[in-house]
């Protein structure tokens, strides 16, 4: 059953990538992402222009909610510090999660927020991410994505994903495929 589920998800991701790439005109490759975590502290690299990031996350004891603080250095030499909040709720067989980050670019004095709504069932995640420029009160865009978490052990996961960005005018951008490798100690 698990093999059939993996085949279905892989097929859906390939179909989404091929349909999206022909509509978006460009699908140049796969971005490699990674994270290493231990005791709530994570170091990561992502396809969202983050060269290196550090995040400390803590859950509220007895609840499926918590917060985080983070620092990111981007490919554009921005230095961003921020706060995050997250919460999860079991719904049917899956988990509905919401998280929001508010980041301040200390290099350029820019204040932005990202809010993600994600439903995960059988290791398949469907999500949307809304970006806002807080200091200018401006909508920056939305990303819609699909991912699958393949857990090799409690400490190692491989997460392929496909994401389609839309800018503030609703114009569709190039689809982004990513492969995230997560290692936890």
Q: Write phi, then psi, for 8 (nearest 5 degrees).
A: -65, -45
**Residue 81: its pLDDT value, please?**
97
Burial of 94 (0-12, 13-18, 19+ CB in 10 A): middle
pTM of the prediction? 0.78
Query: ∠ CA(115), CA(6), CA(12), 5° rounding?
Result: 60
Q: Mean pLDDT of residues grouped by 10 in the chain (185 residues)?
A: 48 42 46 90 87 94 93 92 96 93 90 96 96 95 96 94 94 90 91
Domain range enclosing 131: 2-184
Q: Bridge partners of 81?
A: 71, 104
Identify the CA nearest to 9 among candidates 183, 159, 168.
159
Question: What is the rounded radius of gyration, in angstroms, for the C-alpha atoms of the chain?
Answer: 17
Strands 124-133 and 176-184: unpaired
Q: What is the CATH number of the domain that holds 167?
A: 2.40.160
Provide the number of structural domains found in the chain. Answer: 1
Please report the pLDDT score of residue 157 as a whole number. Answer: 95
**Who's near 56: CB < 8 A, 6+ residues apart?**
40, 41, 42, 68, 69, 70
How does DSSP assign 70-134, residue by residue? Answer: EEEEETTS-EEEEEEEEEEEEETTEEEEEEEEEEEETTTTEEEEEEEEEEEETTEEEEEEEEEET
């Amino acid at each position: 059953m698990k093999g059939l589920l993996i085949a279905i998800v892989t097929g859906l991701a390939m179909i989404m990538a091929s349909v999206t790439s022909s509509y978006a005109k460009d699908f140049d490759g796969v971005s490699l992402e990674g994270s290493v975590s231990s005791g709530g502290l994570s170091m990561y690299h992502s396809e969202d222009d983050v060269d290196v990031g550090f995040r400390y996350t803590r859950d509220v004891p007895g609840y499926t909610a918590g917060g985080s603080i983070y620092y990111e250095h981007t490919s554009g030499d921005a230095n961003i510090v921020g706060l995050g909040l997250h919460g999860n709720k079991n719904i049917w067989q899956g988990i509905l999660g919401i998280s929001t980050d508010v980041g301040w670019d200390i290099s350029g004095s820019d204040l932005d927020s990202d809010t993600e709504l994600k439903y995960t069932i059988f290791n398949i995640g469907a999500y949307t991410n809304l970006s806002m420029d807080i200091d200018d009160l401006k909508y920056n865009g939305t990303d819609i994505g699909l991912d699958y978490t393949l857990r090799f052990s409690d400490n190692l996961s491989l997460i392929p994903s496909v994401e389609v960005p839309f800018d503030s005018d609703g114009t569709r951008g190039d689809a982004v495929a990513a492969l995230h490798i997560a290692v936890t100690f």
